[in-house]
Amino acid sequence: MMQMNRRNFVLSATTAGLVFGLDKPLEIIPSALAQAAGAHPMNPKGALFHKFKVGGIEVTTVYDGGIYRPHDAAFIKNASIDDTKASLKASNLPDDRVPNAYTVTFVTIGGRTYMFDSGNGVGGAPGTGTLDDNMKAAGIDASELSAIVVGHFHPDHIFGLYAKDNAPIYANTEIIVPEAEYKFWADPASIEKLPEARRGLARRIQATFPQWKNIKQVANDKDAVAGIRVVPTPGHTPGHTSFLVSDGGGQLLVLGDVTNLPALNLRNPGWHVVFDQDATMAEATRRRTFDRVVADKLVCTGYHWGMPGAGTVAKDGNGYALVPVA
């Protein structure tokens, strides 16, 4: 049996840059260690998955693990560490570090099941990469997925597509990607436009995605498949995309990374988290998107919302508040 002690894991500067967009090593405390003393605060019940319905849409959110991040003044560009701590505390989260979690959305419509993004995969931050086991616990057979729908190309969203040798894990499953996102990352000229920490990611994408025969690009405001509509939500990345799922009178908006933690830039939509490539555009997208979500009373899923990873959103002063699904 693998034994784990309480020593913190330290990621290399290269890995930290790829995964977190920062330029120095990050001390990451894996959720497996946290579980020894209690569940991760963004998954307090230790749920492996959560199932619910929106009209005719069967939704399953599956946990891909959680981490903690030490406070860093560079993490939120226009808010202090004290501001960050106060916002975490107001959301009933610990404020000594910044927790983060990863939740992958699956929907079944018309008897077909789709996975949105693919998790951290092998080699991600310690405490992540639980998606495969938790999918099985939820009764989801990866070999029977009708398609994988990807919202953007950051590592925690696409590295679950890769085996260690860069071979595709889902070689026989259609992978649907936003045309704008693909064009940016697959363009060799984009490498020079990226900070050094992101260039390795672009090179990996360029060495693999153009060779994979099962990738399908889809344009803005078109149907990825019947019942799943592309909703452009740029800023976090140039082609960041959300998806509106419709079936049987129900609608679900799969948001990806329009926000980071609800305690941070859902509660404070003007905060510029370091991961947003164009922070000003990301803020405008966030405000526009959540004004629509509130007005249309949409149920949403968010990749970094913890478990259950879904809910409705209400206006709350100058920001927004998440009301989790039951």
**85 pLDDT higher than 50:** yes
Average pLDDT over every residue of 181-190? 97
Distance CA 178, CA 77 (A): 28
Query: What residue type is 70 in one-letter code?
Result: P
Residue 293: give its domain's CATH number: 3.60.15.10
Give the pair of three-digit tokens for residue 174.
């259609």
- Structural domain includes residue 2: no
- Structural domain includes residue 92: yes
Give the pair of three-digit tokens for residue 296.
């249309």
Structural domain tally of the chain? Answer: 1
- Structural domain includes residue 83: yes
Distance CA 306, CA 171 (A): 29
**27 pLDDT higher than 90:** no
- Structural domain includes residue 4: no
- Structural domain includes residue 70: yes
- Structural domain includes residue 136: yes
Average pLDDT over every residue of 73-90? 97
Residue-wise pLDDT for 96-129, tens only, equals 999 999 999 999 999 999 999 999 998 888 899 9
Q: Kind and range of the H or E element at 229?
A: strand 228-232
To the nearest 10 degrees (0 to 180), the angle between helices 13-20 and 196-208 is 70
Please tell me whether the overall predicted TM-score, pTM, comes out greater than 0.85 for this model.
yes
**24 pLDDT higher than 90:** no
Collapsing DSSP to helix, strand or coil, 183 comes out as helix
State which residues form the domain around 72: 9-324
| Mean pLDDT (the chain, rounded) | 90
Q: Cα–Cα distances in Å, from 96 out to 56, 68, 71, 85?
A: 42, 10, 8, 7
**169 pLDDT higher than 70:** yes
- Structural domain includes residue 188: yes
295: left (phi over 0), alpha (psi -120 to 50) or beta: alpha
Residue-wise pLDDT for 279-323, tens only, equals 999 999 999 999 999 999 999 999 999 999 999 999 999 999 999
What residues have CB less than 8 Å from 183, skipping those under 6 apart?
239
- Structural domain includes residue 37: yes
